[in-house]
């Protein structure tokens, strides 16, 4: 039961979705049901083994066959493949790269499509396309730095883990349902510690005190980890269309992503009546985990409404605690007001992690809105052609350049490295710190947002 509205900036883990439907894939302890597959990802039931002599995620020969995401063998069409269902370890379960950041500073990851200090980065590690597997220019190509425009839709990786409720008795190889699901009721803060553990997972904080809805650390540690015969894992995506004001929004008032998957599909979990709508049958009892990276600017605001457990960690520090099984609660978090506590410095890149649990029958909804966290990424684009003389920095806007002031050190309404325009009025992103009230992606007036990015009265 979650209704959450968040704000963040997405790097490699949040891809622009090029299709109407973003498919899922699944791995589980039981015979897996048929679900839509992410292109290049493993078949249901893939146990993600590693072939002898091949290091997980390091790659195979181009003729090694079709890509199977999750087999721990990196195919040339995959950005990475570490063979697990974990987010936040540098490679998503969808085999796309994630930033590797510490204290706001990110490592250069060649092939992640994020142009930082490399000569080039075109989002892959293929040779003979202008940007080499080591992110150096290749002869015979003309390359330029380009800023990706805000996409019409974001597609964000999410990991679901499906549980059987405690009301289900043991059967065959399956133990009784999980004691924390379909059991106790009650709002409960303080279930998790204020920081994540070394694996980036929430830490159970009630080992020496009574808990109204949980039953010890061993049981809690299963919520966000793969445990055979206890949970089944489904890898999916959330599609967030861009709204008129620039916000990215997912809003589902009947959020039951596993109704036709996992334990229900294999006949080991019944659909349950929704107490708020008894005629509606759904698969309750699951958790979800999402992680994102954003460049902190000081204008980010996190708003949400949620029922059942919701925990938000920013830079590994607990920022929102909606623990327990409860009616919907609302709150708002302005990051600039908590920057010191959360260790945020303007210009730094940080992880935002959201952990959620749906643990009891009665409604389930999910609202996720992203405002002011999204920053356009810069990447390299190459086309075949003669090797050009270096032109960027000569103070003249040459073909292929968006600008060139001779310095190109960036800043608001300035020319940035790579001779591309920096953040500015008209780029479709509201820069509150720079005094913008709106930004509809153009410099026209009389359309609600004027040419200087100020709101126009009707």
Per residue of the chain (458 residues), what is the pLDDT tens digit? 443 333 333 333 333 443 333 334 454 333 333 233 333 333 333 333 333 333 334 444 444 568 899 999 988 888 889 999 999 998 999 998 888 878 877 777 888 888 877 889 998 888 999 999 999 999 899 898 888 888 898 888 999 999 999 999 999 999 999 999 999 998 899 999 999 999 999 999 999 999 999 999 999 999 999 999 999 999 999 898 998 887 888 888 888 999 999 999 999 999 999 877 778 999 999 999 999 888 899 988 887 887 889 999 999 999 999 999 987 777 788 999 999 999 999 988 899 899 999 999 888 888 888 888 887 778 999 999 876 555 788 888 877 788 999 888 888 999 988 888 889 998 888 888 899 999 888 888 888 899 999 998 87
Buried b (16+ CB within 10 A) or exposed e, 18-50: eeeebebbbbbbbebbebebbebbbebebebee
Assess if residue 76 is contained within a domain. Answer: no
136 burial via Cβ count (<10 Å: 0-12, 13-18, 19+): exposed
Could you tell me if residue 63 is inside a domain? no
3-class DSSP state of 409: coil
Answer yes or no: is 335 within a domain.
yes
Predicted pLDDT of residue 363:
84
- Answer whether residue 243 is part of any domain: yes
Distance from first CA to last CA of the chain, Å, rounded?
A: 39
Asked whether residue 294 is assigned to any structural domain, the reply reads yes
User: Looking up tokens 């966290």, which residue turns up?
Assistant: 373
In a domain, 34, yes or no: no
Q: What is the pLDDT of residue 250?
A: 87
Torsion sign across C-alpha atoms 231, 237, 243, 248 = positive
DSSP lists the bridge partners of residue 195 as: 317
pLDDT score for 163:
98
Q: Determine how many CB atoms are found less than 10 A away from the CB of residue 96.
A: 22
pTM for this structure?
0.73
Predicted pLDDT of residue 388? 57
Domain, as residue range, for 352: 153-370
Residue 7: the pLDDT is 34
Q: Is residue 260 part of a domain?
A: yes
Domain count, the chain: 1
With respect to residue 177, please indicate whether it lies within any of the assigned structural domains. Answer: yes
């Amino acid at each position: 039961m979650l209704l959450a509205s968040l704000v963040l900036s997405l790097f490699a883990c949040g891809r622009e979705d090029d299709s109407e439907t973003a498919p899922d894939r699944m791995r589980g302890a039981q015979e897996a049901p048929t679900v839509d597959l992410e292109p290049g990802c493993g078949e249901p039931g893939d146990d993600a083994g590693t072939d002898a002599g091949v290091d997980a995620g390091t790659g195979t020969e181009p003729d090694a066959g079709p890509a199977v995401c999750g087999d721990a063998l990196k195919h040339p069409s995959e950005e990475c493949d570490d063979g697990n269902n974990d987010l936040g370890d540098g490679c998503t379960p969808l085999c796309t790269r994630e930033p590797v950041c510490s204290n706001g500073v990110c490592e250069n990851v060649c092939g992640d499509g994020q142009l930082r200090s490399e000569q080039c980065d075109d989002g892959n590690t293929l040779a003979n396309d202008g940007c080499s597997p080591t992110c150096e220019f290749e002869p015979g190509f003309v390359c330029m730095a380009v800023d990706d425009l805000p996409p019409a839709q974001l597609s964000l990786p999410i990991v679901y883990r499906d549980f059987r409720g405690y009301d289900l008795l043991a059967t065959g190889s399956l133990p009784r349902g999980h004691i924390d699901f379909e059991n106790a009721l009650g709002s409960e803060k303080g279930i998790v510690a204020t920081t994540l553990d070394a694996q980036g997972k929430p830490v159970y904080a009630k080992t020496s005190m009574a808990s109204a809805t949980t039953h010890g650390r061993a049981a809690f540690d299963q919520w966000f980890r793969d445990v055979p015969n206890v949970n089944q894992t489904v890898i999916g995506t959330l599609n967030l269309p861009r709204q008129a004001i620039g916000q990215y929004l997912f809003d589902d008032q009947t959020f039951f992503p596993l109704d036709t998957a996992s334990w229900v599909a294999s006949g080991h979990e019944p659909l349950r009546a929704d107490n708020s709508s008894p005629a509606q049958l759904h698969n309750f009892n699951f958790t979800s985990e999402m992680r994102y990276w954003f460049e902190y600017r000081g204008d980010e605001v996190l708003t949400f409404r949620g029922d059942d457990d919701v925990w938000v960690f920013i830079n590994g520090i607990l920022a929102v605690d909606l623990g327990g099984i409860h009616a919907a609660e609302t709150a708002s978090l302005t990051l600039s007001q908590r920057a010191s506590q959360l260790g945020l410095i303007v210009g730094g890149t940080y992880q935002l992690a959201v952990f959620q649990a749906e643990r009891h029958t009665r409604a389930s909804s999910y609202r996720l809105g992203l405002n002011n966290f999204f920053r356009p990424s810069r990447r390299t684009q190459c086309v075949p052609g003669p090797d050009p003389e270096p032109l960027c920095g000569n103070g003249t806007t040459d073909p292929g350049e968006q600008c060139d002031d001779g310095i190109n050190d960036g800043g608001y309404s300035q020319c940035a490295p790579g001779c591309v325009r920096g953040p500015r009025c008209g780029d479709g992103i509201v820069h509150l710190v720079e005094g913008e009230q709106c930004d509809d992606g153009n410099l026209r007036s009389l359309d609600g947002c004027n040419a200087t990015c100020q709101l126009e009265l009707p």
